[in-house]
Structure 1
Amino acid sequence: MKDLEKEQFFVSFIKENKKRFYLLAYSYVKNEQDALDIIQDSIHKALKSLYKVKDLQSIKSWFYKIVIRTAIDFLRKNKKMYVMEDVFLENNLPPYNNSYENFDLKKSLDELPLKYKEVIILRYFEDIKIEDVANILGLNINTVKSRLYKALKILKLNLENEEDL
């Protein structure tokens, strides 16, 4: 496939899935502007190396991998703690509908270690197959499965503890 065709396919792919990518980046950084910056950086990185992609079917997992790595790099570079008042936070939620509508679930997800959180988000919120999650994260399929199991167990315990309060 020619580079121009790949580029056109990639641009339409990004346009169709921009909200999903934004929510994925937002789930890492919890800040609208930072999430938008991550998406912009990810698209820039992807366009620079688009010629390396041989199969268009792999673009989805390839770009998810770029977004996740860019978000993690961003977090490493910008280890900041944001302190916000509840009123300020409520008025500055992201403009898109967040997939994590259940507050207790969102809170429990936020408390998960990153290695568990990312497999849950990719598998259940982004509806990506386990094999593709493994590919995106550069992990063995069995590692992804065990992290999913452990994450679900932790989430279940956290949600049960919230109900008891």
Structure 2
Amino acid sequence: MTYKSLVNKAQKGNEQAFIELLQHEKVKLYKMAYLYMKNETDALDIVQETVARAFANIHAVKEPDYFSTWLTKICINTALESIRKNNKIIYMEQPIPEIAEDLALDEKMDLLEAIEQLDEKYKTVIILKYYQDLPVKDIAELLNCPQGTVKTNIHRAIQQLKKQVLKGGSQYGEQY
């Protein structure tokens, strides 16, 4: 069964089709939520809320090929809403597995801490570009902004990350 037909069936009320769609997306959703929430419990809460919102609004998907993008957008908005609502400081409990595996642990922590300090718009484009491997075009659609804005935000985020890592006294500064 194709992805498109699953979305169409889910829109017609087929719960099994919706569950099958989620099977393809669950790991990506969890990683996205974890990057924002920084702990397993809150990330799982965000995923659960995302699934509930998606199920309630599946009829709103206009183009079945963009179901994944639509779901990711719900996840990001749910996480940001939760952060704003709770207005809490988020601390990194542990490094995220499978991200930047070629970096040493200290480098991973420096990078993750630097990403945490970015403004939301920069943090979001970095996560979508480098952790979700989305092309600029898809990020622009997801965030409802021009591709040029996405490219600019990625560039600015990278510049800020370089400054953060260098400022942190990293011995890796000469590589940049």
2:170 alignment partner in structure 1: 163
Q: Deviations over 1:8-60 (max 9, x none)?
A: 44422321232221111111121211111111011111111112223221101
1:107 alignment partner in structure 2: 113
**1-10 or 11-20, which moves further after superposition?**
1-10
Query: How has the CA–CA distance of structure 1 residues 82 and 128 changed in structure 2, closer, same or farther, with 3 Å as cutoff?
Result: closer
Deviation at 1:163, TM superposition (A): 2.1
2:151 alignment partner in structure 1: 145
1:28 alignment partner in structure 2: 36
Q: Deviations over 1:59-82 (max 9, x none)?
A: 011001100111111111111236
What residue ranges of structure 2 are gaps of 5+ in the alignment? 1-7, 102-107
Q: TM-score, normalised by structure 2?
A: 0.78
Identity rate, percent: 35
Residue identity matched to 2:87: K
User: Does residue 17 of the first structure (1) align with residue 40 of the second (2)?
Assistant: no
Q: Alignment RMSD, CA only? A: 2.5
Is 1:46–1:63's contact at 8 Å kept on the other side of the alignment?
Answer: yes
User: Which of 123, 134, 139 is the equivalent residue of 1:128?
Assistant: 134
What residue ranges of structure 1 are gaps of 5+ in the alignment? none
User: Which of 56, 63, 76 is the equivalent residue of 2:64?
Assistant: 56
How many pairs are equivalent? 157
Residue identity matched to 2:123: K
Is 2:54–2:71's contact at 8 Å kept on the other side of the alignment?
Answer: yes
Identify which of structures 1 and 2 has the higher relative contact order when contacts are C-alpha pairs closer than 8 Å and 6+ apart.
Answer: 1
Deviation at 1:97, TM superposition (A): 2.4
Query: How has the CA–CA distance of structure 1 residues 81 and 159 changed in structure 2, closer, same or farther, with 3 Å as cutoff?
Result: closer
Deviation at 1:147, TM superposition (A): 0.3
